[in-house]
Structure 1
Amino acid sequence: MSRRRNDPGGVIPIAADGLGKSEWIRASLEEFARASGPGTLVPSERVLAEQFSVARMTVRAALDSLEASALIYRIPGRGAFVQHPLVTQSEVLRSFTEDMVLRGMIPGTSEIRAEARPADAFIAERLAIAEGAQVYLIERVRTADDVPMAIERTNLPAERFPGLLDRLQERDSLYAALASDYGVIVDSAEQTAAIAHLDHADARKLSTTPGASCFALARTSRDRMGTVVEFGRSLYRGDRYVIQMRVSKDALTLPADGEAGLHV
């Protein structure tokens, strides 16, 4: 008989092979997590401490390590659960639709809100347009394989994209609509990411818990001529995403005074 999703069953210890107790428990739990379906309940600290004949503190350290590796997640008062596979937010500039298709997932939109309104000073500055000029505000809840993954909120100059709101209803990808209907290719973007916590309204849209952690991304996109196309802020579920970044040091240089210096 197959194990129910929320029935933790038992954790089968792997061969110790000289591992310390904490490493042995972690390796056994890692094997359990990889063999179990997403959302499977992990046995409690008490149960694991009894099974492995160790202190609960040792079990807690192993669980902390698995949580840091995104193999499990914890919900206060409910326990630890096997993590869903995480989606990497790539450093390559793609639309949500393109990104999900490349991952073999089916992109979609479960909710959409769009309206034309005057740009306030902040949005006007970001879009390099006059304050009070009409902009389109587009908010969409994006899904992958019917699971809510992100809330995208973006602003575009209405004068440049007349009729966009009607055309977007016929397309799932904003970038595809801009390319095919207006000949505008999004070529580059400046993006920042921060950790935020979902309020009740956004948590409901993403089918998760109020206060849950999320990635708050702010993006200014430009076309091939360097003209701003959009400015948006998006929320990505922290339990389903990781952020990928490429970092490097500048070359070691030798200043005129002869002392080595590193420009960062």
Structure 2
Amino acid sequence: MVDKNSTVPIYIQIEDFIKKNIQEGVYLSGQPLPTERELTELLGVSRMTVRQAISNLVHEGVLYRIRSKGAYVSKQIIEKKMEIESFSEDMKKRGLAPSSKLLSFEEILPDEDIRAKLKLSKNDKIYFLNRLRLANDEPMAIEYCYIPKKYFPDIKKYNLVECSLYKIMKEEYSVKFNYMRQKIKAVDISKRDAEILLDKPKGFGLVSLKIVFDEHENPVEYTETIFNPERYYFDMIIFDNN
């Protein structure tokens, strides 16, 4: 609750109280916060101080307002670091339950662009893997993944709804990842992807274009991932080598 004798300003104590209740699941994502009047009576503070705390949390993105309805709890925003890590591992570290929906998984001949990215010959086939990635059953991203068959023969026999692709690559095919090249851009996405990912007829997404290389400098995966922009932002660290 609020300690009026503390050196910590009351509005900050209220912010911490609200954040703690969100973390503990008392106030749920997408659900309304108690009204200013209810919080005033619960905490024994002025309505103006409660309003200041709520406004600060709206500014931080912890809460959002709906006109004439009040403040609501925002969905968790995922900070995505630029590293070679599976979606499943990433979500588990955040205390979220990862899952997948298989949209397509087939063996095909790649077009010239994909063939060039993966440094394949004209007759080399690939596995095309299209998955919807979810966390706590909420859509987070759509993957369009291209995997050279010559490095991963018979990979279709594995259940890529329940299993991590990177874990299979490492444990079943003894691949050692070396580095990746990745570009990020915001683009308008297709009607199909918008309906699946955003539950809207149109929208934009944060698109990652990623090539992963093994220890022998072979490109072993090219993936285009469309991230839900309401759930992700990217964190990059740039080193100055001068």
Give TM-score scaled by structure 1 length. 0.68
Name the structure, 1 or 2, with higher relative contact order (CA <8 Å, separation 6+): 2
**Who is 2:150 aligned against?**
159
Shift in Å at residue 89 of structure 1?
0.8
- Alignment of 1:247 onto 2:238: yes
Given that residues 198 and 214 in structure 1 are in contact (C-alpha distance below 8 angstroms), is that contact kept between their aligned partners in structure 2? yes
Shift in Å at residue 144 of structure 1?
1.4
**Who is 2:74 aligned against?**
83
**Who is 1:173 aligned against?**
164
Tell me how far apart the structure 2 counterparts of residues 170 and 213 of structure 1 sit (CA, whole Å): 26
- Structure 2 counterparts to residues 214-225 of structure 1, below 5 A: 214-225=205-216
Q: 1:95 corresponds to which letter in structure 2? A: S
Shift in Å at residue 216 of structure 1?
0.6
Given that residues 194 and 204 in structure 2 are in contact (C-alpha distance below 8 angstroms), is that contact kept between their aligned partners in structure 1? no
Shift in Å at residue 66 of structure 1?
5.8
- Structure 2 counterparts to residues 200-239 of structure 1, below 5 A: 200-239=191-230
Given that residues 88 and 242 in structure 1 are in contact (C-alpha distance below 8 angstroms), is that contact kept between their aligned partners in structure 2? yes
- 3-state SS of the aligned residue for 1:104? coil
Tell me how far apart the structure 2 counterparts of residues 111 and 147 of structure 1 sit (CA, whole Å): 15
**Who is 1:146 aligned against?**
137
- 3-state SS of the aligned residue for 1:204? helix
Q: Deviations over 1:93-137 (max 9, x none)?
A: 211111112222221112331111111110011000123521111
- 3-state SS of the aligned residue for 2:209? strand
Q: Return the match for 1:196 from 169, 187, 197.
A: 187
Identity of aligned residues (%): 24
The root-mean-square deviation of aligned C-alpha atoms, in Å, is: 4.0
Which one has the largest radius of gyration? 1
Alignment CA distance shift 1:27-1:130 (3 Å): farther
**Who is 2:85 aligned against?**
94
- Structure 2 counterparts to residues 36-115 of structure 1, below 5 A: 36-41=27-32, 69-72=60-63, 81-115=72-106
Tell me how far apart the structure 2 counterparts of residues 249 and 154 of structure 1 sit (CA, whole Å): 32
Q: Deviations over 1:159-211 (max 9, x none)?
A: 22111112244752111111222111233211111123443311232253343
Q: 1:162 corresponds to which letter in structure 2? A: P
Tell me how far apart the structure 1 counterparts of residues 72 and 158 of structure 2 sit (CA, whole Å): 42
Q: Give the total of aligned pairs.
A: 230
Q: 2:90 corresponds to which letter in structure 1? A: D
Given that residues 195 and 202 in structure 2 are in contact (C-alpha distance below 8 angstroms), is that contact kept between their aligned partners in structure 1? no
Structure 1 segments unaligned to the other structure (5+ residues)? 1-14, 16-23, 44-50, 53-58, 251-262
Structure 2 segments unaligned to the other structure (5+ residues)? 5-10, 22-26, 35-46
**Who is 1:120 aligned against?**
111
Given that residues 152 and 233 in structure 1 are in contact (C-alpha distance below 8 angstroms), is that contact kept between their aligned partners in structure 2? yes
